[in-house]
Amino acid sequence: MARFFVFSIVCASFFTSSAQVARIPYAPVPAEEAHDLTKHFSHPVGFHTWEFYGDTADAWKRWEMVENFSFGKNRGAIPMIADLQSLHPYFRDKVIELIRVCKSKGIELAVVETYRTHAKQNEYRSMGKHYTRSKAGYSKHQYGLAVDIVPMKDTVAQWNNIALWRKVGVIGERLGLRWGGRWRHLFDPGHFEWTGGLGSSQLVQGKFPIVPKSAHYPCVDEDLKELQRHWKAWEIEQAAVARKETTPGIKSFAAKSGDQGAGRE
């Protein structure tokens, strides 16, 4: 009887405490915190817009393009690829973060060029040393590891606003990117790149940088293979465009414009 009495007391205490717990209201979660939690658990390995892009074998045809003089500078007759989807996944996320941080500080950035074909690189080189000294295959753009951007004010590109460039450059460097605004030769403040310590000669050999925190990019090898297929398609496309253009004509066009511009790798 005593054992039954003790057992009854324990059970009663358990159900009473359970009822009390059930009546305790949950503390309301701030909307901002709830959003961050949702975002975290929805994308535990990093946000990749590629996955939501409806990627197919012809996805490269939907990449955004920029025509010459779109941002007030002569950048040659061959259109520029200006789509973030064309970049290395890790580097792309860094560029997205650069754009986001700058926007939070009231600086709007426009993407001028992302992946660059060999044909486009050769076009720049034909336009003079003030455009580039790197031959095709030796620019980080040819490996999705470089981007050209420009801050905008009232839809006008701010190429010559040094104070503004410094703000953008420092933000990019804090994200681990190399900034062309530090270069003594071919000063190129709109250029940002990431190579993970690899040089151009290693990239030419087919090596790609090791991604930090690779657990956040479990499919990086597959993404790069897919990217390389798209890059190859664009190489064929723009090589055909280049054959229609004549080098003397491009040089003459650049000379008439009188635009020395910023150097670009």
Question: Looking at residue 200, what is its pLDDT?
Answer: 92
Nearest to 76 by CA among 232, 233, 227, 264: 264
Question: Looking at residue 57, what is its pLDDT?
Answer: 84
Mean pLDDT of the chain: 81
Question: Looking at residue 48, what is its pLDDT?
Answer: 36
* Domain map (residue ranges) of the chain: 48-257
Task: Name the percent of the chain lying above pLDDT 90.
Answer: 64
Answer with the residue of higher pLDDT: 79 or 30. 79
d(CA 137, CA 122): 9
- Between strands 146-153 and 108-113, the pairing is antiparallel
**Range 224-240 average pLDDT:** 97
In this predicted model, what pLDDT tens digit does every residue of 158-209 receive, in sequence order?
999 999 999 999 999 999 999 999 998 888 999 999 999 999 999 999 999 9
Question: Looking at residue 119, what is its pLDDT?
Answer: 96
- Between strands 146-153 and 156-157, the pairing is antiparallel
CATH of 48-257, one of 3.90.550.10, 2.60.120.260, 3.30.1380.10, 3.40.50.2300: 3.30.1380.10
| Cα-only R_g, the chain | 26
d(CA 129, CA 149): 20
19: pLDDT confidence band, cut at 50, 70 and 90? Answer: very low
Amino acid letter at 7?
Answer: F
- Residue listed under structure tokens 């000294």: 133
